[in-house]
Structure 1
Amino acid sequence: MLKDFFGKRRKYASMPSEQAKLDVPEGLMQKCNGCYKIYYRKEMSKNLNVCPNCGFHHQLGAWERMESLFDAESFEEWDDNFITGNPLQFPGYEEKIEKDRKKTKLNEGVITGKGLINGQATGFAVMDSSFRMGSMGSVMGEKIARAIENSKNESLPFVIFTASGGARMQEGVLSLMQMTKTSVAIKRFSDAGGLMISVMTHPTTGGVSASFASLGDYNFAEPGALIGFAGRRIIEQTIREKLPDDFQTSEFQLKHGQLDRVVHRHEMKNLLVTLLDMHQKGGDVS
């Protein structure tokens, strides 16, 4: 095996660079954005897209995250047939949505449903930034609000993983209205005694960070995640001051009391199991 491996290295080293690129299968390797080391993509995938060397947390797809948390074949998807329209007739919007649907195999930038985490039934919403950068439109807001309502009706705790570039500009005020819709759904859920755990991943920004992402009974984040409302450049231009280098990172938010804990991806399932065990109770929340 080693002989074959080093033989291949010599082969590629002796080739013209363009030919070597053609002979290396596309998508085989992945460079870490933290330490810039190169790994086999399968190796990174097995490690939940966390760099084995520096611990940098790369983005994780919604289905990959669910498979890392939920018991095998235990989840039931809700509202999977909801598809975004073009309510404002924004030019080219439908084509972009269709392109992302084909690329990601998702109908929208969030998956909702219920499943078992170590045998405990839980409602969930998992956002995926590979679909329109996880931007929040009317369908996403509707799916999240309905997932919260379903969790209330079925007396389930609710866990949400956020990843978003903010509101979806192609839907204008309809997108901004989802901030209110989801926040009201969470208030009803909380008044009924429901438990909500919010986990912010990279990035969680704009209207998502200013609404449902920050309204959990527990608010967690992954290491190094970008969390904030307005962009760094806009804030610096507004206040005319230089911001700290770690501004809007999860560690900065924790230090300033905006988070309860920064949680490594490998520790996430155990933490959720502990909290669900601690809050488990008999009877309905309605």
Structure 2
Amino acid sequence: MNWITNYVRPKISSLLGQQPREVPENLWIKCPETGEMIFHKDLEANQFVIPTSNFHMKIGARDRLTHLFDGGVFEEIALEKVPLDPLKFRDSKRYVDRLKDYKAKTGLEDSVLVAAGALEGLPIVAAVQDFAFMGGSLGMAAGEAIVTAAETAVDRKRPLVLFAGSGGARMQEGILSLMQLPRTTVAVEMVKDAGLPYIVVLTNPTTGGVTASYAMLGDVHIAEPGAVIGFAGARVIEQTIREKLPEGFQRSEYLMEHGMVDMVVHRHELKGTIAKLLSVLTKAPATEPVIQPAVAAEPPATVQPEPA
């Protein structure tokens, strides 16, 4: 028992009539690379990219969509309901209780959000995985969301842009989770059969069953800097092959050098890059620059000399 903390300090505070101020837990955020403390509002204004180290923090699904669509305006697509706990799974707590906690924490129904809107004037459909919801794990609800995104893109004849970020399949749903791999693969093929572009943005991390299905089937694969992308973890691979892996293995820059990723793009430049790619893939006509007609300058007025 700390006598000063538990007795002296509260006694002094009560005598002075002062109440201790409550400081929000997320007021300052620590950079995972440098340890630098960043004010949360400044980080949010910078799209959750650490200004000094350029480290890309995880970003929520709605924040991602707000930065993607013109004016931050988008239509959230309604998703079909799926059975919450088909296997009656329980580990340290019941699966239904775990889902309830994550829904309250994130404000999402599951790990994938689907929306439609305009990207630099081009109508698109976008799907975003939110890692904050159970590690962006792929379950029946997430699989249904990806299928809905593909069907919406085909129905509306719009390109599909997907932001992948996941730890893999959701173990609480067992084989039903693994069944989402072929379902989402078929959904992506629907988009391609309709002649519509499908662009995938790989964020940190994109692993497991997601990389074994829709995340690696894009027409173009873009990765954020420093993102971990792969199927099995690096430690598992090292233990299997009994060799030390190269420096930067499974990072987006390493994958681009070895042909697994088409480009690595900073988060601030994603919107413009995706817009340019879609304009090429959809053969959208270039916007003619507006040229104002030249206004002829008026000749200077002639000053008549005054009579003597």
What's the TM-score, normalizing by structure 2?
A: 0.82
Contact 2:66–2:73, Cα closer than 8 Å, also in 1: no
| 8 A Cα contact 1:30 1:40, kept in partner | yes
The separation in 2 between residues aligned to 1:150 and 1:32, in whole angstroms, is 38
Aligned 1:87-236 pairs, distance under 5 A = 87-91=86-90, 92-236=94-238
SS of the aligned residue for 1:72 comes to: helix
- % identical equivalent positions: 45
Q: Quick check: 2:118–2:124 contact (8 Å CA) kept in 1?
A: yes
Quote how far apart the aligned CAs of 1:72 are: 2.8
What SS does the aligned partner of 2:173 have?
helix
The 1-side partners of 2:164 and 2:77 are apart by 17
Tell me if the contact between 1:221 and 1:261 (Cα under 8 Å) persists in the aligned partners.
yes
Q: Give the structure, 1 or 2, with the largest relative contact order (CA under 8 Å, sep 6 or more).
A: 1
Residue 271 of structure 1 corresponds to which residue in structure 2? 273
Instruction: Give the partner amino acid of 2:61.
Output: A
Select the structure that is richer in helix. Answer: 1
**1:245 is paired with a residue of what secondary structure?**
coil
Q: Report the 3-state secondary structure (helix = DSSP H, G, I; strand = E; otherwise coil) of the residue aligned with 2:70.
A: coil
Q: 2-side partners of 1:194 and 1:23: how far apart?
A: 51
- Give CA-to-partner distance per residue, 1:240-284, whole Å, 9 cap, x none: 1111231111111111100000110011011011112223358xx
Q: Which residue of 1 aligns with 2:40?
A: 41
**1:35·1:54 contact (CA, 8 Å) conserved in 2?**
yes
Q: Secondary structure at the match of 1:144?
A: helix
8 Å CA contact 1:122–1:159 kept in 2: the answer is yes
Cα deviation digits, residues 62-114 of structure 1 (max 9, x gap): 11111111023631111246366001110210000000000000001010121
Q: How many residues align?
A: 262
User: Conserved in 2, the CA contact under 8 Å of 1:69 and 1:117?
Assistant: yes
Say if 1:82 and 1:108, in contact at 8 Å, map to a contact too: no
Deviation at 1:188, TM superposition (A): 1.9
Aligned to 1:59: 58
Is the CA contact (8 Å cut-off) linking 2:197 and 2:282 kept in structure 1?
A: no
| Partner SS for 1:126 | strand
Gaps of 5+ in 2: 1-19, 285-308
5+ long unaligned stretches in structure 1: 1-20
Match of 1:271, SS?
helix
Rg comparison, structure with higher value? 2
CA contact (8 A) 1:35 1:53 kept: no
Tell me how far 1:31 sits from its aligned partner: 1.0
Q: For the residues of structure 1 that align with 2:77 and 2:253, how far apart are their CA atoms?
A: 33
Cα distance change of structure 1 residues 84 and 133 upon mapping to structure 2, 3 Å threshold: farther
2:72, 2:53 → 1: CA distance? 32
Judged with a 3 Å threshold, the aligned counterparts in structure 2 of structure 1 residues 25 and 85 are, in CA distance, closer, same or farther, namely: closer
Q: Which amino acid aligns with 2:51?
A: P
Query: In the alignment, residue 141 of structure 1 is paired with which amino acid?
Result: G
Aligned residue number for residue 258 of structure 2: 256
Q: CA deviation at 1:24?
A: 4.3
Separation (CA, whole Å) in 1 of partners of 2:135 and 2:77: 21
CA–CA separation in structure 2 for the residues paired with 1:27 and 1:184: 41
